Amino acid sequence: MGNSILSLTNPDEVFYAQTAKEMIQHKSWLTPYLFGKPQFEKPIFLYWLLRIAYVIFPNPDFAARFFPALFATFGVIAVYFLALIGFQNERKALISSLILLSSNLYIGLSRTLFTDMIFSIFILFSLLSFYWGYSGNDKKGIGIILFFYFCATAVLTKGPLGFLIPILIVLMFLFAKEDIGFLFCKYFFWGIFIFIAVSFPWYIFMIVKYGSSFTYEFFYNDHIRRFLIAEHAGNDKWYFYSSSMIGCMFPWSLYTLTALILFFKNLKKDTSTINVFILSWIWIVFLVFQFAHSKLASYIFPMFPALALITGNFIYDAALSKNKSRTFFIISIIMAFILFLFPVAVIFLLPKFSIYISSKTLPYAVIALLFIFSGLFGFFVLSQRLLKAVFNLVFLIPTLLFVIPFIHNTIEPYISSKLASEYLLKNYKVAGPIICSKIFARGVRYYTDKEIVVIGIPESNFFSPHPVIFLGTDQKAKDYLRNRPITYCILRKSSIEDIKRIADKEYKFSILKIIGNEYLLQIEHI
Which residue type is seen at 269? K
Which pTM value belongs to this model? 0.92
> Domain map of the chain by residue range?
40-320, 326-412, 417-525
Distance CA 163, CA 147 (A): 10
CA–CA distance, 115 with 158 (Å, rounded to integer): 7
> What average pLDDT score do residues 129-134 get?
96
Do residues 8 and 416 touch, judged by C-beta distance below 8 A? yes
Question: What pLDDT does 360 receive?
Answer: 58
Distance CA 33, CA 189 (A): 35
The one-letter amino acid code at 87 reads F
Closest by Cα among 499, 409, 490, 494 to 448: 490
Cis peptide before 458 (omega within 30 of 0): yes
Burial bucket for residue 236 (CB in 10 Å: 0-12, 13-18, 19+):
middle
**Counting Cβ atoms within 10 Å, is residue 508 exposed (0-12), middle (13-18) or buried (19+)?**
exposed
Taking the C-alpha atoms of residue 15 and residue 114, their distance in angstroms, rounded to an integer, is 9
Predicted pLDDT at 494? 85
For residue 296, the SS3 value is: coil
The length of the chain is 526
Region of 300 on the Ramachandran plot (φ > 0 left; ψ -120 to 50 alpha; else beta): alpha
Q: Which residues make beta-bridge pairs with 454?
A: 436, 470
DSSP-derived secondary structure letter, 11: T
Average pLDDT over residues 153-173: 96
DSSP, collapsed to helix, strand or coil, labels residue 33 as strand
Whether 355 has a pLDDT exceeding 60, the answer reads no
Using pLDDT thresholds of 50, 70 and 90, give the confidence band for residue 201. Answer: very high
pLDDT at residue 178 above 60? yes
Give the DSSP letter string of 79-110: HHHHHHHHH--HHHHHHHHHHHHHSHHHHHHH
Q: How confident is the model at residue 105 (pLDDT cuts 50, 70, 90)?
A: very high
pLDDT band of 525, cuts 50, 70, 90: confident
Residues linked to residue 521 through DSSP beta bridges, in sequence order: 489, 511
Closest CA to 96 of 246, 259, 337: 259
Q: Which of 526, 515, 516 is nearest to 427 (CA)?
A: 515
Instruction: Report which secondary-structure segment, H or E, holds 289.
Output: helix 273-290
Cα–Cα distances (Å) from 425 to 284, 430, 493, in that order, read 49, 7, 21
Q: Report the C-alpha dihedral over residues 122, 126, 132, 136, rounded to 10 degrees.
A: 160
**Tens digit of pLDDT for each residue in 227-253?**
888 787 888 888 999 999 999 999 899
On the question of a cis peptide bond just before residue 413, with omega within 30 degrees of 0, the verdict is no
Mean pLDDT of 33-40: 93
Strand ordering across the sheet containing 507-515: 469-471, 452-455, 434-437, 486-491, 518-525, 507-515
Question: Could you tell me the pLDDT band of residue 359, with boundaries at 50, 70 and 90?
Answer: low
More reliable by pLDDT, 1 or 86: 86
**pLDDT grade for 6, boundaries at 50, 70 and 90:** confident
Q: What is the pLDDT of residue 484?
A: 85
Q: What number is the average pLDDT over the span 295-307? A: 94
Q: Which of 145-154, 357-366, 458-467 has the highest mean pLDDT?
A: 145-154
Cα(455)–Cα(316) distance, integer angstroms: 55
Minimal CA–CA distance to 43: which of 201, 164, 166, 194? 201
Per-chain mean pLDDT for the chain: 88
pLDDT band at 269 (very low <50, low <70, confident <90, very high): confident
Degrees to nearest 5, angle at CA 44 with 41 and 46: 100
Of residues 155, 194, 163, 165, the one with CA closest to residue 42: 155
d(CA 127, CA 98): 19
